[in-house]
Amino acid sequence: MPSRTLCATLVALATTAAELPAPAAATMLVYRDGNDVWAASPDGAIKQRVTSDGRADLYYAFPSGDDAGTITAIKGFSTNRVIWTLPRGAAGPTVNVMPWRISGGVNIGPLWARVKPTIGSQLAYTYFLNHGVCSGCGLEERVAVVNPAAPGSPTMPAVDQPANSRPTWFGDRLVTARGGAIWFETQPLQFSSWLSDPNNPILTGAEVDRAGTRLLVTRSDGRVVYAHWRGTVGSTSGSVTAQCLLPSATVEWAALSPDGAQVAWSDGSGLRVATVGATGATTCATSGTVLLSATGTTPAFSTATLTLPRDPDPGRREPQDPGRDPADPGRDPTDPGRDPADPGRDPTDPGEQPADPGRTPTDVGRVPTGPGDLPQRRPELTPTGAVTVAVARSARASALRGGLRVTVSAPAAGRLAATLTLKPAGRGARSVRAAGATVTLAAPGRRAFTLKPSRAAARQLRRGARLTLRIAFAPASGRAVVRTTTVTVR
């Protein structure tokens, strides 16, 4: 599907207050460190170990918190999983079997989990449903949503859908990854493609701030894009007005603060938090960077204040915990992953290796495509189905005198008007119209053409001059769209 580069978009759609949760500032960050759950203030002034009973064969994974201070995590090993929830002020945690469907083989997961931060009554997580070894069978990634305090049937999650990865929350809606793009839940359990990147075809996840104006998008190459969004979240008619890459090239996990001002990310050197800004440069401007932990991972923000209760008896074996017996982790009949032939103690289980969630080759949205030290490329997030303008960002004056090559992709038939304006080098120089053209698109698709500067403009093409290209596309039906980009003369 054609898509449009959003670095210089000027289109804006107002978002109604009813569609957006209220903005808020982050005061609590929860994360996994070793085999346990920790909580910290984003500035690192307060750090608290929430659990202490995690171990290699019974560890905590994918912790997240809600705005009331309740912390939820997945506890266990291999096929033996429970949802562990510690409400603020509670005497101890509640533990329930993590539901998933069962089929012809042993499931793998969870691959990801995130509680709904505004209320905490919904936990979204993904897992691989194993259909067994047969023609057309294998692993199928599914997203499930349950109430962590009362998840219901161990083999039938309240919500269970195929295809989506790494769900996060925007209000009551889910933001997911699918097929290398970012999808948005436009209606309950109905998802539409939202964002893509023509230069980086595999986007693995995204998070949106509470106001709907900041985005954090993870890619399969270990890079993370921080972006400013203008318009309705989930709509392909909105636009990215600025974007940049986090400074680390090997990010494993990342999270966006509720107000969109801070980002937490983990890589091989630890878990960091920083205030981030998109200034137009390829790499984001960061300030106040704090190393929370040299071994921390899977961070998640909430607005809760950091006065968290500890588990008063973290080593207690709760009766409802199917993982309480390390010698026989599959013995609980309510455990949906129970398999007498395979109790799930294989340490090579690829579904719960937090440092490498993309090990399973069938999960195309999560498999890294190359090393993290590849040359940086400017991110180009784009709403799917939008207008794309491709043009050189800089060119020599001699080449520009022969014409500027422009390629436009449009999602519909229509007419486009291209205008090229020259701002000569030197203080006080006046801008002049350099070229113009009108192109008719008989059908959706790509159209290339050349804008050749006039003789008067060509004489002023020198190093330091700047060309501004304005593309106005009027579809056969619908609202006109304007795109603007700049070309530097060198």
Positive or negative CA dihedral for 348, 349, 351, 353?
negative
Q: Are 303 and 88 in contact (CB under 8 A)?
A: no
Amino acid at 224: V
Closest CA to 96 of 117, 125, 67: 125
- State the burial class of residue 363 (Cβ atoms within 10 Å of its Cβ: 0-12, 13-18, 19+): buried
Query: What does each C-alpha distance from 403 to 299, 351, 432, 453 come to in angstroms?
Result: 49, 53, 16, 6
pLDDT at 400 over 50: yes
- What span, in angstroms and rounded, lies between the C-alpha atoms of 121 and 175? 17
Span 99-123, pLDDT tens digits: 999 998 899 999 999 999 999 999 9
- 254: tokens are 């990342």
CB atoms inside a 10 Å sphere around CB 344: 21
At 409, is the pLDDT very low, low, confident or very high (cuts 50, 70, 90)? Answer: confident
Query: What does each C-alpha distance from 215 to 63, 182, 462 come to in angstroms?
Result: 21, 11, 38
Provide the 3-class DSSP secondary structure of residue 84. Answer: strand
Q: What is the pTM of this model?
A: 0.67
CA triple 30-144-304, angle to 5 deg: 25
- What span, in angstroms and rounded, lies between the C-alpha atoms of 399 and 449? 15
Residues 42-59: what's their mean pLDDT? Answer: 95
Least-confidence region, from 80-94, 142-156, 219-233, 400-414 = 400-414
Closest CA to 76 of 356, 360, 338, 340: 338
Closest CA to 468 of 419, 425, 427: 419
Q: Residue 326: its pLDDT value, please?
A: 35
Strand order in the sheet with 224-230: 203-208, 214-219, 224-230, 239-245
- Go through the chain and tell me how many residues it has: 490
* More confident of the two residues 319 and 466: 466
**37 beta partners:** 32
- What span, in angstroms and rounded, lies between the C-alpha atoms of 117 and 335? 27
Q: What is the phi/psi pair of residue 455, to 5°?
A: -60, -40
Span 429-438, pLDDT tens digits: 888 999 999 9
Residues 256-282: what's their mean pLDDT? Answer: 95
- What domains can be seen in the chain, in order of their start residue? 17-352 (2.120.10.30), 387-489 (2.60.40.2470)
Q: What is the phi/psi pair of residue 427, to 5°?
A: -70, 135
* More confident of the two residues 248 and 472: 248
Q: Residue 478: its pLDDT value, please?
A: 59
- What span, in angstroms and rounded, lies between the C-alpha atoms of 311 and 63? 15
At 98, is the pLDDT very low, low, confident or very high (cuts 50, 70, 90)? Answer: very high
- What span, in angstroms and rounded, lies between the C-alpha atoms of 288 and 277? 12
CA triple 314-327-316, angle to 5 deg: 15
Provide the 3-class DSSP secondary structure of residue 95. Answer: strand
